Structure 1
């Protein structure tokens, strides 16, 4: 079994890119803009232990529904997040998209690491706990973004505008409920969720760009004479 594993891995369709042309440049621009928003937000709230005026206004308008929102927040906990990520990896493999599976494996975990590292650096707190950027929102966004990229890679979605629309809609549908739940549960300030959203955009899109760049070179070395796909 161990000897057959490399052959089985190489037999997968590694030529199918995560970011089909011309989505690569679009992803790079979006990641850059998200990084700017993330950094500006961090500078504005660094060291604060209170809500901004914008946070207060949004929080007052937040809907109520404690049981539902508590359940949504629980989905972003470590164990639930790990299970959902593994399920998404399996779905990507079943769809014949190993690069997406690799992205689903790496990006949510990397997003979690980045949000965890940034929180104490920014030093914004809510009830004594570091809060910016939101790790739960980052996870939800990363999972939704990978799902959107997977759906956008379907053969039926050919136009670039349609692919972008699919990615945007699916990402927002995945991220927004978690962000609303966190604010309604007073777990995060609204701007924390924006920071988590932007963190996920940066991490997932950068990892996607790296996967599309590195995988063809690795598979080409593993299979001499076979031109790398991409």
Structure 2
């Protein structure tokens, strides 16, 4: 026994599935970025959903969209993150707490870096839209929670994969709907944000696991040397 804390990705059988998902998601982010680079108008796919205008959705649905949007605004996001980290610490999941901060934070940073590289805008050149940071944030958080729940509940590969898929689809679809309804993003921006989260969280979780394992091994080796 090494006394290691619970891994961020606790089901080894899911790591291959998560890796393939991350690769496919990353390829989608790049493909959409190349396709819509420099654009300032909705594409054909975007117009299938809704024409982005200031009154794309009216009350009472607009109030719901604003409430969902608030969860990824600075104050709302801070509240959600604090709650998630607190939950991890109360459940004695230190790696989970690190993944919440590091993984979700890295996802948001990634969207921030991609936006000027792609240069897609909505309602003016200053409003860079691809990929959706709001959608990426909530999807990343949902994936982290699903990862930790999979380990905590002892779910197998199939059940764990279904839980993660359901969590990310529901969270991403809800935030994506809000962003499109509020005319903050095109539908393809939302897809790009969703895929960004799926591309960033798995390798971040793996890196956190490897780093924690390495530290635990060095600590165990030091303890053994002290006992000699």
Report the TM-score range of the alignment, normalised by the length of the smaller protein. Answer: 0.7 to 0.9
- Output the aligned Cα RMSD: 2.1
Q: What is the aligned counterpart of 1:93 among 81, 89, 98?
A: 89
Give 2:20's aligned residue: 29
Q: Which moved more, 1:16-25 or 1:81-90?
A: 16-25
Q: What is the aligned counterpart of 1:122 among 118, 123, 126?
A: 118
Q: Distance in 1 between matches of 2:220 and 2:76?
A: 37
Give 2:49's aligned residue: 58
Give 1:20's aligned residue: 11
Gaps of 5+ in 2: none
In the TM superposition, residue 63 of structure 1 has moved relative to its aligned partner by 6.6
Verify: 1:183 aligned to 2:180, yes or no: yes
Q: What is the aligned counterpart of 2:70 among 74, 85, 96?
A: 74
What SS is found at the alignment partner of 1:153?
Answer: helix
Could you give the per-residue CA deviations for residues 140-166 of structure 1, whole angstroms, max 9, x where no partner exists? 101111111111112442x21011111
With the length of structure 1 as denominator, give the TM-score of the two structures.
Answer: 0.87
C-alpha contact (below 8 Å) 1:86/1:105 kept by paired residues? no
| Count of residue pairs brought into register by the alignment | 216
User: CA 1:109–1:224 in 2, change beyond 3 Å: closer, same or farther?
Assistant: same
C-alpha contact (below 8 Å) 1:28/1:206 kept by paired residues? yes
Give 1:145's aligned residue: 143
Q: Distance in 2 between matches of 1:30 and 1:156?
A: 21
Gaps of 5+ in 1: 1-10
